[in-house]
Structure 1
Protein backbone atom coordinates (compact mmCIF):
# COMPACT_ATOMS: atom_id res chain seq x y z
CA UNK A 1 0.00 0.00 0.00
CA UNK A 2 1.48 3.34 -1.04
CA UNK A 3 2.04 5.98 1.61
CA UNK A 4 0.94 9.48 0.71
CA UNK A 5 3.64 12.11 0.99
CA UNK A 6 3.42 14.15 4.17
CA UNK A 7 4.99 17.30 2.75
CA UNK A 8 6.68 18.94 -0.18
CA UNK A 9 10.23 18.02 -1.08
CA UNK A 10 12.61 20.83 -0.26
CA UNK A 11 14.46 22.16 -3.27
CA UNK A 12 18.21 22.47 -3.11
CA UNK A 13 19.43 26.09 -2.95
CA UNK A 14 22.50 25.24 -5.05
CA UNK A 15 20.91 25.95 -8.43
CA UNK A 16 19.47 29.40 -7.53
CA UNK A 17 22.79 30.36 -5.94
CA UNK A 18 24.73 29.27 -9.02
CA UNK A 19 22.38 31.23 -11.28
CA UNK A 20 22.75 34.28 -9.06
CA UNK A 21 26.54 33.92 -9.13
CA UNK A 22 26.59 33.67 -12.94
CA UNK A 23 24.27 36.67 -13.20
CA UNK A 24 26.62 38.77 -11.06
CA UNK A 25 29.72 37.60 -12.94
CA UNK A 26 28.19 38.54 -16.31
CA UNK A 27 26.46 41.74 -15.20
CA UNK A 28 29.23 43.48 -13.26
CA UNK A 29 31.66 43.89 -16.23
CA UNK A 30 28.85 45.22 -18.42
CA UNK A 31 27.78 47.63 -15.67
CA UNK A 32 31.35 48.92 -15.25
CA UNK A 33 31.73 49.38 -18.99
CA UNK A 34 28.46 51.27 -19.44
CA UNK A 35 28.74 53.49 -16.35
CA UNK A 36 32.39 54.45 -16.82
CA UNK A 37 31.77 55.39 -20.45
CA UNK A 38 29.98 58.51 -19.21
CA UNK A 39 32.41 59.51 -16.43
CA UNK A 40 35.47 61.68 -16.21
CA UNK A 41 38.94 60.23 -15.72
CA UNK A 42 38.95 61.25 -12.05
CA UNK A 43 35.58 59.64 -11.33
CA UNK A 44 36.60 56.42 -13.07
CA UNK A 45 39.77 56.12 -10.98
CA UNK A 46 38.24 57.16 -7.65
CA UNK A 47 34.82 55.46 -7.81
CA UNK A 48 34.46 53.06 -10.75
CA UNK A 49 31.33 51.40 -9.30
CA UNK A 50 29.44 54.59 -8.46
CA UNK A 51 26.54 55.90 -10.48
CA UNK A 52 26.63 59.70 -10.06
CA UNK A 53 23.72 60.93 -12.15
CA UNK A 54 24.73 64.59 -11.81
CA UNK A 55 28.24 64.04 -13.16
CA UNK A 56 27.48 61.73 -16.10
CA UNK A 57 28.30 63.14 -19.54
CA UNK A 58 28.06 61.95 -23.14
CA UNK A 59 31.04 64.07 -24.20
CA UNK A 60 33.55 61.22 -24.13
CA UNK A 61 31.26 58.94 -26.10
CA UNK A 62 30.71 61.59 -28.75
CA UNK A 63 34.46 62.24 -28.92
CA UNK A 64 35.02 58.54 -29.58
CA UNK A 65 32.41 58.57 -32.34
CA UNK A 66 33.95 61.63 -34.01
CA UNK A 67 37.58 60.60 -33.51
CA UNK A 68 39.40 60.88 -36.86
CA UNK A 69 42.09 58.39 -35.81
CA UNK A 70 41.41 54.67 -35.17
CA UNK A 71 37.69 55.30 -35.25
CA UNK A 72 35.69 52.24 -34.19
CA UNK A 73 32.69 53.48 -36.20
CA UNK A 74 34.80 53.34 -39.36
CA UNK A 75 35.76 49.79 -38.42
CA UNK A 76 32.07 48.85 -38.54
CA UNK A 77 32.01 49.06 -42.34
CA UNK A 78 35.07 46.89 -42.95
CA UNK A 79 34.05 44.34 -40.30
CA UNK A 80 30.53 44.14 -41.73
CA UNK A 81 32.04 43.59 -45.19
CA UNK A 82 34.08 40.67 -43.82
CA UNK A 83 31.03 39.20 -42.09
CA UNK A 84 28.88 39.30 -45.23
CA UNK A 85 31.52 37.93 -47.61
CA UNK A 86 32.66 35.14 -45.27
CA UNK A 87 29.08 34.11 -44.47
CA UNK A 88 28.13 33.89 -48.16
CA UNK A 89 31.23 31.88 -49.12
CA UNK A 90 30.84 29.61 -46.09
CA UNK A 91 27.22 28.79 -46.95
CA UNK A 92 28.08 28.17 -50.63
CA UNK A 93 30.82 25.69 -49.64
CA UNK A 94 29.47 24.12 -46.45
CA UNK A 95 25.96 23.45 -47.78
CA UNK A 96 26.80 21.11 -50.70
CA UNK A 97 29.60 19.45 -48.71
CA UNK A 98 27.26 18.71 -45.79
CA UNK A 99 24.58 17.41 -48.17
CA UNK A 100 27.01 14.98 -49.79
CA UNK A 101 28.23 13.74 -46.40
CA UNK A 102 24.73 13.43 -44.90
CA UNK A 103 23.33 11.45 -47.84
CA UNK A 104 26.27 9.09 -48.23
CA UNK A 105 26.71 5.87 -46.25
CA UNK A 106 30.23 5.17 -47.52
CA UNK A 107 32.96 4.83 -44.95
CA UNK A 108 35.32 7.22 -46.70
CA UNK A 109 32.64 9.91 -46.64
CA UNK A 110 32.36 9.56 -42.88
CA UNK A 111 36.14 9.88 -42.66
CA UNK A 112 35.81 13.20 -44.47
CA UNK A 113 33.34 14.25 -41.79
CA UNK A 114 35.85 13.34 -39.09
CA UNK A 115 38.46 15.34 -40.98
CA UNK A 116 36.27 18.42 -40.82
CA UNK A 117 35.48 17.81 -37.15
CA UNK A 118 39.20 17.64 -36.37
CA UNK A 119 39.38 21.30 -37.36
CA UNK A 120 37.19 22.27 -34.42
CA UNK A 121 39.73 20.94 -31.91
CA UNK A 122 42.68 23.00 -33.17
CA UNK A 123 43.05 26.42 -31.50
CA UNK A 124 42.85 29.20 -34.03
CA UNK A 125 45.89 30.98 -32.60
CA UNK A 126 48.02 27.87 -33.22
CA UNK A 127 47.25 28.05 -36.94
CA UNK A 128 48.20 31.67 -37.52
CA UNK A 129 51.90 31.10 -38.23
CA UNK A 130 51.30 28.22 -40.70
CA UNK A 131 48.56 30.31 -42.34
CA UNK A 132 50.99 33.20 -42.84
CA UNK A 133 53.44 30.90 -44.67
CA UNK A 134 50.66 29.48 -46.84
CA UNK A 135 49.33 32.93 -47.73
CA UNK A 136 52.83 34.11 -48.61
CA UNK A 137 53.35 31.14 -50.89
CA UNK A 138 50.16 31.94 -52.86
CA UNK A 139 50.68 35.70 -52.89
CA UNK A 140 47.84 36.61 -50.51
CA UNK A 141 49.89 37.75 -47.51
CA UNK A 142 48.74 41.04 -45.97
CA UNK A 143 45.66 41.19 -48.20
CA UNK A 144 41.94 41.29 -47.51
CA UNK A 145 41.48 38.24 -49.77
CA UNK A 146 43.91 36.28 -47.59
CA UNK A 147 42.02 37.23 -44.43
CA UNK A 148 38.72 36.23 -46.04
CA UNK A 149 40.16 32.87 -47.14
CA UNK A 150 41.39 32.21 -43.60
CA UNK A 151 38.04 33.13 -42.03
CA UNK A 152 36.09 30.97 -44.47
CA UNK A 153 38.32 27.98 -43.73
CA UNK A 154 37.94 28.59 -39.99
CA UNK A 155 34.14 28.67 -40.13
CA UNK A 156 33.67 25.60 -42.35
CA UNK A 157 34.12 22.79 -39.74
CA UNK A 158 31.34 23.88 -37.37
CA UNK A 159 29.09 24.91 -40.25
CA UNK A 160 29.40 21.52 -41.96
CA UNK A 161 28.85 19.71 -38.66
CA UNK A 162 25.60 21.59 -37.97
CA UNK A 163 24.36 21.21 -41.54
CA UNK A 164 25.02 17.46 -41.61
CA UNK A 165 23.07 16.94 -38.39
CA UNK A 166 20.11 18.88 -39.75
CA UNK A 167 20.07 17.34 -43.23
CA UNK A 168 19.96 13.85 -41.73
CA UNK A 169 16.60 14.73 -40.17
CA UNK A 170 15.15 15.46 -43.63
CA UNK A 171 13.64 12.30 -45.20
CA UNK A 172 15.61 10.90 -48.13
CA UNK A 173 12.35 10.28 -49.97
CA UNK A 174 12.29 13.99 -50.79
CA UNK A 175 15.53 13.58 -52.73
CA UNK A 176 14.20 10.53 -54.55
CA UNK A 177 11.01 12.34 -55.57
CA UNK A 178 13.03 15.25 -56.93
CA UNK A 179 15.28 12.93 -58.93
CA UNK A 180 12.24 11.18 -60.43
CA UNK A 181 11.12 14.61 -61.63
CA UNK A 182 14.48 15.04 -63.36
CA UNK A 183 16.34 17.22 -60.83
CA UNK A 184 20.06 16.65 -60.36
CA UNK A 185 21.74 16.53 -56.96
CA UNK A 186 22.81 20.16 -56.95
CA UNK A 187 19.40 21.36 -58.06
CA UNK A 188 17.74 19.13 -55.48
CA UNK A 189 19.88 20.60 -52.75
CA UNK A 190 19.52 24.29 -53.61
CA UNK A 191 15.85 24.28 -54.59
CA UNK A 192 14.40 21.74 -52.13
CA UNK A 193 16.75 20.81 -49.28
CA UNK A 194 18.37 24.19 -48.69
CA UNK A 195 15.07 26.06 -48.07
CA UNK A 196 14.21 23.43 -45.45
CA UNK A 197 17.52 24.12 -43.68
CA UNK A 198 16.53 27.65 -42.65
CA UNK A 199 16.93 27.11 -38.85
CA UNK A 200 20.41 25.60 -39.29
CA UNK A 201 21.45 28.26 -41.81
CA UNK A 202 20.34 31.08 -39.52
CA UNK A 203 22.25 29.52 -36.62
CA UNK A 204 25.42 29.18 -38.69
CA UNK A 205 25.14 32.77 -39.92
CA UNK A 206 24.71 34.09 -36.38
CA UNK A 207 27.57 32.09 -34.88
CA UNK A 208 29.93 32.92 -37.75
CA UNK A 209 28.99 36.61 -37.69
CA UNK A 210 29.63 36.95 -33.96
CA UNK A 211 32.92 35.06 -34.25
CA UNK A 212 34.20 37.23 -37.11
CA UNK A 213 33.07 40.45 -35.41
CA UNK A 214 34.91 39.55 -32.19
CA UNK A 215 38.02 38.11 -33.87
CA UNK A 216 41.18 40.01 -33.00
CA UNK A 217 44.14 37.71 -33.63
CA UNK A 218 43.51 36.98 -37.33
CA UNK A 219 43.01 40.55 -38.63
CA UNK A 220 45.73 41.92 -36.37
CA UNK A 221 48.36 39.48 -37.68
CA UNK A 222 47.19 38.80 -41.23
CA UNK A 223 46.64 42.52 -41.96
CA UNK A 224 49.58 44.70 -40.95
CA UNK A 225 48.93 48.26 -39.68
CA UNK A 226 50.44 49.52 -42.93
CA UNK A 227 47.46 48.16 -44.84
CA UNK A 228 45.24 50.87 -43.35
CA UNK A 229 42.47 48.32 -42.73
CA UNK A 230 41.05 48.12 -39.23
CA UNK A 231 38.28 45.88 -37.98
CA UNK A 232 36.34 46.84 -34.86
CA UNK A 233 38.68 44.91 -32.56
CA UNK A 234 41.94 46.04 -34.17
CA UNK A 235 40.73 49.66 -34.16
CA UNK A 236 40.12 49.36 -30.42
CA UNK A 237 43.60 47.93 -29.89
CA UNK A 238 45.21 50.69 -31.94
CA UNK A 239 43.33 53.36 -30.05
CA UNK A 240 43.84 51.89 -26.58
CA UNK A 241 47.55 51.30 -27.15
CA UNK A 242 47.88 54.99 -27.98
CA UNK A 243 45.65 56.25 -25.16
CA UNK A 244 46.21 53.48 -22.62
CA UNK A 245 46.18 55.89 -19.65
CA UNK A 246 43.16 57.84 -20.85
CA UNK A 247 40.21 55.77 -19.65
CA UNK A 248 37.76 58.29 -21.11
CA UNK A 249 38.80 56.98 -24.51
CA UNK A 250 39.15 53.31 -23.55
CA UNK A 251 35.65 52.75 -22.15
CA UNK A 252 33.67 54.56 -24.89
CA UNK A 253 35.52 52.70 -27.64
CA UNK A 254 34.93 49.36 -25.93
CA UNK A 255 31.22 50.15 -25.58
CA UNK A 256 30.95 51.12 -29.25
CA UNK A 257 32.62 47.85 -30.23
CA UNK A 258 30.53 45.41 -28.23
CA UNK A 259 27.14 47.16 -28.36
CA UNK A 260 26.16 45.95 -31.88
CA UNK A 261 27.12 42.33 -31.28
CA UNK A 262 25.40 42.21 -27.87
CA UNK A 263 22.17 43.65 -29.31
CA UNK A 264 22.42 41.26 -32.26
CA UNK A 265 22.92 38.25 -29.98
CA UNK A 266 20.07 39.15 -27.64
CA UNK A 267 17.70 39.61 -30.58
CA UNK A 268 18.76 36.39 -32.36
CA UNK A 269 19.39 34.05 -29.40
CA UNK A 270 16.13 32.13 -29.88
CA UNK A 271 17.19 31.31 -33.44
CA UNK A 272 20.53 29.99 -32.15
CA UNK A 273 18.84 27.70 -29.63
CA UNK A 274 16.26 26.40 -32.11
CA UNK A 275 18.89 25.81 -34.77
CA UNK A 276 21.20 23.90 -32.43
CA UNK A 277 18.45 21.66 -31.08
CA UNK A 278 16.30 21.05 -34.14
CA UNK A 279 18.67 18.43 -35.53
CA UNK A 280 19.39 16.79 -32.21
CA UNK A 281 16.40 14.43 -32.36
CA UNK A 282 15.37 12.78 -35.58
CA UNK A 283 11.66 12.85 -36.14
Structure 2
Protein backbone atom coordinates (compact mmCIF):
# COMPACT_ATOMS: atom_id res chain seq x y z
CA UNK A 1 0.00 0.00 0.00
CA UNK A 2 2.87 2.38 0.84
CA UNK A 3 4.62 1.55 -2.43
CA UNK A 4 1.40 2.23 -4.39
CA UNK A 5 0.97 5.62 -2.71
CA UNK A 6 4.60 6.50 -3.49
CA UNK A 7 4.11 5.65 -7.16
CA UNK A 8 1.00 7.76 -7.33
CA UNK A 9 2.82 10.63 -5.59
CA UNK A 10 5.82 10.41 -7.93
CA UNK A 11 3.72 10.20 -11.10
CA UNK A 12 4.20 13.37 -13.19
CA UNK A 13 1.12 15.57 -13.35
CA UNK A 14 -0.37 16.38 -16.74
CA UNK A 15 0.42 19.86 -17.92
CA UNK A 16 -2.56 22.19 -18.14
CA UNK A 17 -3.89 22.87 -21.57
CA UNK A 18 -3.34 26.13 -23.34
CA UNK A 19 -5.44 28.83 -21.75
CA UNK A 20 -5.08 27.40 -18.24
CA UNK A 21 -7.69 24.63 -18.62
CA UNK A 22 -6.93 21.05 -17.74
CA UNK A 23 -7.00 18.46 -20.50
CA UNK A 24 -10.37 16.91 -21.10
CA UNK A 25 -12.32 20.03 -20.16
CA UNK A 26 -12.72 20.99 -23.78
CA UNK A 27 -13.72 18.75 -26.61
CA UNK A 28 -11.75 20.80 -29.09
CA UNK A 29 -14.43 20.35 -31.71
CA UNK A 30 -14.62 23.21 -34.22
CA UNK A 31 -17.87 25.08 -34.20
CA UNK A 32 -19.66 24.55 -37.48
CA UNK A 33 -20.89 27.77 -39.12
CA UNK A 34 -23.68 25.77 -40.73
CA UNK A 35 -25.19 25.19 -37.30
CA UNK A 36 -25.45 28.92 -36.63
CA UNK A 37 -26.86 29.55 -40.10
CA UNK A 38 -29.55 26.92 -39.53
CA UNK A 39 -30.43 28.37 -36.12
CA UNK A 40 -30.61 31.84 -37.66
CA UNK A 41 -32.96 30.66 -40.40
CA UNK A 42 -35.21 28.90 -37.90
CA UNK A 43 -35.24 31.99 -35.69
CA UNK A 44 -36.31 34.19 -38.59
CA UNK A 45 -39.02 31.72 -39.67
CA UNK A 46 -40.46 31.66 -36.16
CA UNK A 47 -40.10 35.34 -35.26
CA UNK A 48 -41.51 36.90 -38.46
CA UNK A 49 -45.14 35.71 -37.92
CA UNK A 50 -44.99 36.87 -34.29
CA UNK A 51 -43.61 40.24 -35.37
CA UNK A 52 -46.37 40.71 -37.95
CA UNK A 53 -49.03 39.77 -35.43
CA UNK A 54 -47.81 42.15 -32.73
CA UNK A 55 -47.12 45.13 -35.02
CA UNK A 56 -50.34 44.92 -37.06
CA UNK A 57 -52.54 44.58 -33.98
CA UNK A 58 -52.04 48.30 -33.33
CA UNK A 59 -52.29 49.66 -36.90
CA UNK A 60 -55.11 50.84 -39.10
CA UNK A 61 -56.48 48.85 -42.00
CA UNK A 62 -54.71 50.99 -44.59
CA UNK A 63 -51.35 50.81 -42.80
CA UNK A 64 -51.62 47.02 -42.60
CA UNK A 65 -52.33 46.72 -46.33
CA UNK A 66 -49.70 49.24 -47.43
CA UNK A 67 -46.80 48.38 -45.09
CA UNK A 68 -47.43 45.24 -43.02
CA UNK A 69 -43.78 45.07 -41.86
CA UNK A 70 -43.36 48.72 -40.95
CA UNK A 71 -43.69 50.29 -37.50
CA UNK A 72 -45.30 53.71 -37.96
CA UNK A 73 -44.86 55.07 -34.46
CA UNK A 74 -47.17 57.98 -35.17
CA UNK A 75 -49.93 55.70 -36.44
CA UNK A 76 -49.97 53.10 -33.67
CA UNK A 77 -53.20 53.07 -31.67
CA UNK A 78 -54.83 50.98 -28.95
CA UNK A 79 -58.29 51.70 -30.34
CA UNK A 80 -58.54 48.42 -32.24
CA UNK A 81 -57.32 46.40 -29.27
CA UNK A 82 -59.90 48.05 -27.03
CA UNK A 83 -62.61 47.34 -29.61
CA UNK A 84 -61.63 43.67 -29.71
CA UNK A 85 -61.92 43.41 -25.93
CA UNK A 86 -65.37 45.02 -25.78
CA UNK A 87 -66.86 43.84 -29.08
CA UNK A 88 -70.49 42.68 -28.65
CA UNK A 89 -70.31 40.35 -31.69
CA UNK A 90 -67.08 38.62 -30.72
CA UNK A 91 -65.33 39.11 -27.41
CA UNK A 92 -62.24 37.00 -26.96
CA UNK A 93 -62.22 37.82 -23.24
CA UNK A 94 -65.50 35.90 -22.89
CA UNK A 95 -63.74 32.90 -24.40
CA UNK A 96 -61.04 33.12 -21.73
CA UNK A 97 -63.46 32.12 -18.98
CA UNK A 98 -64.82 29.04 -20.72
CA UNK A 99 -61.38 27.93 -21.92
CA UNK A 100 -59.89 28.35 -18.44
CA UNK A 101 -62.76 26.34 -16.96
CA UNK A 102 -62.12 23.62 -19.54
CA UNK A 103 -58.37 23.59 -18.82
CA UNK A 104 -58.79 23.32 -15.04
CA UNK A 105 -61.48 20.63 -15.21
CA UNK A 106 -59.57 18.46 -17.69
CA UNK A 107 -56.32 18.82 -15.72
CA UNK A 108 -57.95 17.77 -12.45
CA UNK A 109 -59.71 14.76 -13.98
CA UNK A 110 -56.56 13.74 -15.84
CA UNK A 111 -54.45 13.76 -12.66
CA UNK A 112 -57.11 11.84 -10.71
CA UNK A 113 -57.22 9.11 -13.38
CA UNK A 114 -53.63 9.02 -14.66
CA UNK A 115 -51.94 9.06 -11.25
CA UNK A 116 -53.37 5.82 -9.78
CA UNK A 117 -53.20 4.09 -13.17
CA UNK A 118 -49.52 4.96 -13.58
CA UNK A 119 -48.77 3.84 -10.02
CA UNK A 120 -50.41 0.45 -10.58
CA UNK A 121 -48.48 -0.03 -13.85
CA UNK A 122 -45.14 1.12 -12.45
CA UNK A 123 -45.30 -1.12 -9.38
CA UNK A 124 -46.46 -4.25 -11.22
CA UNK A 125 -44.09 -6.72 -12.86
CA UNK A 126 -46.80 -8.70 -14.63
CA UNK A 127 -46.64 -8.97 -18.39
CA UNK A 128 -50.26 -8.01 -18.92
CA UNK A 129 -49.66 -4.78 -16.99
CA UNK A 130 -46.85 -3.86 -19.35
CA UNK A 131 -49.18 -4.56 -22.27
CA UNK A 132 -51.58 -2.03 -20.76
CA UNK A 133 -48.75 0.52 -20.74
CA UNK A 134 -48.07 -0.23 -24.42
CA UNK A 135 -51.77 0.25 -25.09
CA UNK A 136 -51.69 3.72 -23.55
CA UNK A 137 -48.41 4.49 -25.29
CA UNK A 138 -49.98 3.61 -28.65
CA UNK A 139 -52.48 6.39 -28.05
CA UNK A 140 -49.70 8.97 -28.31
CA UNK A 141 -49.09 8.03 -31.95
CA UNK A 142 -52.69 8.51 -33.11
CA UNK A 143 -53.41 12.01 -34.47
CA UNK A 144 -56.24 13.66 -32.60
CA UNK A 145 -57.98 14.77 -35.79
CA UNK A 146 -58.11 11.16 -37.01
CA UNK A 147 -60.45 10.06 -34.21
CA UNK A 148 -62.82 13.03 -34.22
CA UNK A 149 -65.40 11.42 -36.49
CA UNK A 150 -65.57 8.15 -34.47
CA UNK A 151 -65.78 10.23 -31.29
CA UNK A 152 -68.80 12.08 -32.70
CA UNK A 153 -70.63 8.79 -33.32
CA UNK A 154 -69.77 7.53 -29.83
CA UNK A 155 -70.95 10.74 -28.17
CA UNK A 156 -74.22 10.57 -30.13
CA UNK A 157 -74.85 7.03 -28.95
CA UNK A 158 -74.37 7.95 -25.28
CA UNK A 159 -76.27 11.24 -25.54
CA UNK A 160 -73.31 13.60 -25.04
CA UNK A 161 -73.07 15.05 -28.55
CA UNK A 162 -72.79 18.86 -28.70
CA UNK A 163 -72.33 19.11 -24.92
CA UNK A 164 -69.56 20.42 -22.67
CA UNK A 165 -69.50 17.05 -20.89
CA UNK A 166 -68.72 15.28 -24.15
CA UNK A 167 -65.90 17.73 -24.94
CA UNK A 168 -64.42 17.30 -21.45
CA UNK A 169 -64.58 13.50 -21.76
CA UNK A 170 -62.81 13.64 -25.12
CA UNK A 171 -60.08 15.99 -23.81
CA UNK A 172 -59.46 13.86 -20.73
CA UNK A 173 -59.16 10.72 -22.84
CA UNK A 174 -56.74 12.44 -25.24
CA UNK A 175 -54.47 13.67 -22.43
CA UNK A 176 -54.28 10.37 -20.55
CA UNK A 177 -51.70 8.52 -22.74
CA UNK A 178 -48.89 11.06 -22.39
CA UNK A 179 -49.71 11.71 -18.74
CA UNK A 180 -49.60 8.03 -17.81
CA UNK A 181 -46.39 7.52 -19.78
CA UNK A 182 -44.62 10.37 -17.96
CA UNK A 183 -45.95 9.32 -14.56
CA UNK A 184 -44.87 5.70 -14.99
CA UNK A 185 -41.33 6.74 -15.90
CA UNK A 186 -41.08 8.98 -12.86
CA UNK A 187 -42.65 6.56 -10.34
CA UNK A 188 -40.17 3.87 -11.36
CA UNK A 189 -37.36 6.10 -10.08
CA UNK A 190 -38.95 6.19 -6.61
CA UNK A 191 -37.62 3.34 -4.41
CA UNK A 192 -40.08 0.54 -3.71
CA UNK A 193 -38.85 0.51 -0.10
CA UNK A 194 -41.02 3.57 0.50
CA UNK A 195 -44.09 1.51 -0.38
CA UNK A 196 -42.97 -1.32 1.88
CA UNK A 197 -42.45 1.07 4.79
CA UNK A 198 -45.93 2.53 4.26
CA UNK A 199 -47.41 -0.98 4.21
CA UNK A 200 -45.71 -1.82 7.50
CA UNK A 201 -47.25 1.33 8.99
CA UNK A 202 -50.68 0.09 7.92
CA UNK A 203 -51.27 2.22 4.82
CA UNK A 204 -53.11 0.69 1.89
CA UNK A 205 -52.09 1.14 -1.73
CA UNK A 206 -54.54 3.99 -2.28
CA UNK A 207 -53.32 5.91 0.77
CA UNK A 208 -49.70 5.11 -0.03
CA UNK A 209 -50.01 6.69 -3.44
CA UNK A 210 -51.87 9.88 -2.52
CA UNK A 211 -50.17 10.53 0.83
CA UNK A 212 -46.58 9.47 0.05
CA UNK A 213 -45.87 8.85 -3.65
CA UNK A 214 -47.95 11.64 -5.17
CA UNK A 215 -46.18 14.46 -3.25
CA UNK A 216 -42.86 13.13 -4.56
CA UNK A 217 -44.18 13.36 -8.14
CA UNK A 218 -44.39 17.15 -8.09
CA UNK A 219 -41.96 17.73 -11.03
CA UNK A 220 -43.80 15.23 -13.24
CA UNK A 221 -47.21 16.54 -12.21
CA UNK A 222 -46.21 20.13 -13.00
CA UNK A 223 -44.91 19.05 -16.41
CA UNK A 224 -48.12 17.19 -17.24
CA UNK A 225 -50.28 20.11 -16.13
CA UNK A 226 -48.30 22.56 -18.27
CA UNK A 227 -48.32 20.38 -21.39
CA UNK A 228 -52.01 19.54 -21.05
CA UNK A 229 -52.98 23.15 -20.36
CA UNK A 230 -51.16 24.48 -23.42
CA UNK A 231 -52.59 21.72 -25.59
CA UNK A 232 -56.18 22.34 -24.49
CA UNK A 233 -55.85 26.11 -24.78
CA UNK A 234 -54.53 25.85 -28.35
CA UNK A 235 -56.91 23.10 -29.44
CA UNK A 236 -59.17 24.16 -32.27
CA UNK A 237 -60.41 21.01 -34.00
CA UNK A 238 -62.07 19.33 -31.01
CA UNK A 239 -64.18 22.24 -29.69
CA UNK A 240 -65.01 23.43 -33.20
CA UNK A 241 -66.44 20.04 -34.21
CA UNK A 242 -67.74 18.69 -30.89
CA UNK A 243 -69.40 21.99 -29.90
CA UNK A 244 -71.52 23.51 -32.64
CA UNK A 245 -72.38 27.24 -32.63
CA UNK A 246 -75.85 26.33 -31.34
CA UNK A 247 -74.29 25.24 -28.04
CA UNK A 248 -73.43 28.86 -27.24
CA UNK A 249 -69.95 27.92 -25.94
CA UNK A 250 -66.77 29.19 -27.58
CA UNK A 251 -63.20 28.55 -26.61
CA UNK A 252 -60.54 31.15 -27.36
CA UNK A 253 -59.57 29.51 -30.65
CA UNK A 254 -63.10 28.86 -31.91
CA UNK A 255 -64.16 32.37 -30.93
CA UNK A 256 -61.29 33.83 -32.94
CA UNK A 257 -62.32 31.69 -35.91
CA UNK A 258 -65.93 32.85 -35.60
CA UNK A 259 -64.81 36.48 -35.53
CA UNK A 260 -62.43 36.12 -38.45
CA UNK A 261 -65.03 34.39 -40.62
CA UNK A 262 -67.45 37.21 -39.91
CA UNK A 263 -64.90 39.99 -40.45
CA UNK A 264 -62.64 38.34 -43.00
CA UNK A 265 -61.68 41.65 -44.66
CA UNK A 266 -61.38 43.75 -41.52
CA UNK A 267 -57.79 43.18 -40.46
CA UNK A 268 -58.16 45.58 -37.54
CA UNK A 269 -60.34 42.92 -35.92
CA UNK A 270 -58.33 39.90 -37.01
CA UNK A 271 -54.90 40.83 -35.66
CA UNK A 272 -55.96 42.16 -32.22
CA UNK A 273 -58.16 39.12 -31.60
CA UNK A 274 -55.36 36.73 -32.57
CA UNK A 275 -52.91 38.55 -30.30
CA UNK A 276 -55.32 38.39 -27.39
CA UNK A 277 -55.84 34.69 -28.00
CA UNK A 278 -52.18 33.61 -28.04
CA UNK A 279 -50.65 36.13 -25.61
CA UNK A 280 -51.62 34.28 -22.37
CA UNK A 281 -50.33 30.90 -23.49
CA UNK A 282 -47.06 32.37 -24.84
CA UNK A 283 -46.38 34.17 -21.56
CA UNK A 284 -47.34 31.06 -19.60
CA UNK A 285 -44.99 28.87 -21.65
CA UNK A 286 -42.05 31.27 -21.38
CA UNK A 287 -42.46 31.48 -17.61
CA UNK A 288 -42.93 27.74 -17.07
CA UNK A 289 -40.51 26.28 -19.64
CA UNK A 290 -37.87 25.50 -17.01
CA UNK A 291 -40.41 23.36 -15.16
CA UNK A 292 -41.17 21.46 -18.37
CA UNK A 293 -37.49 20.68 -18.97
CA UNK A 294 -36.82 19.66 -15.36
CA UNK A 295 -39.94 17.51 -15.23
CA UNK A 296 -39.04 15.67 -18.43
CA UNK A 297 -35.44 14.98 -17.38
CA UNK A 298 -35.78 14.37 -13.65
CA UNK A 299 -36.84 10.78 -14.15
CA UNK A 300 -34.41 10.03 -16.96
CA UNK A 301 -31.51 8.96 -14.73
CA UNK A 302 -31.65 7.33 -11.35
CA UNK A 303 -29.58 9.20 -8.96
Normalising to structure 2: TM-score of the pair? Answer: 0.90
Matched residue of 1:54: which SS?
coil
- Measured in 2, the distance between the counterparts of 1:18 and 1:183 equals 55
Among residues 217, 222, 235, which one is paired with 1:197 in the alignment?
217
> 2:34 corresponds to which residue?
14
Q: Does 1:123 align with 2:132?
A: no
SS of alignment partner, residue 55 of structure 1: coil
Q: Deviations over 1:75-98 (max 9, x none)?
A: 000000000000000000000000
Preserved CA contact (<8 Å) 2:162 2:243: yes
Within 2, Cα distance between the matches of 1:69 and 1:191?
Answer: 49
Write the distance in 2 (CA, Å) between the matches of 1:261 and 1:223: 22
- Determine the structure 2 residue equivalent to 1:274: 294
Partner residue in 1 for 2:128: 108
Whose RCO is larger (CA < 8 A, sep 6+)?
Answer: 1
- Could you say which residue in structure 2 is the equivalent of 1:141? 161
The reply to whether residue 51 of structure 1 matches residue 71 of structure 2 is yes
Once the 2 structures are TM-superposed, how far is the Cα of residue 9 of structure 1 from its aligned partner? Answer: 5.9
| Residue 182 of structure 1: aligned partner | 202
- Number of aligned positions between the proteins: 281
Query: Given the two structures, how large is their TM-score scaled by the length of structure 1?
Result: 0.97
RMSD: 1.5
TM alignment of 1:22-101, pairs within 5 A? 22-101=42-121
Check whether the contact 2:98–2:250 (CA below 8 A) recurs between aligned residues.
yes
Q: Can you give the 5+ residue segments of structure 1 that lack an aligned partner in the other structure?
A: none
* Range 89-98 or range 15-24, more displaced: 15-24
Unaligned runs of 5+ in 2: 1-13, 20-27
How much does 1:249 deviate?
0.4
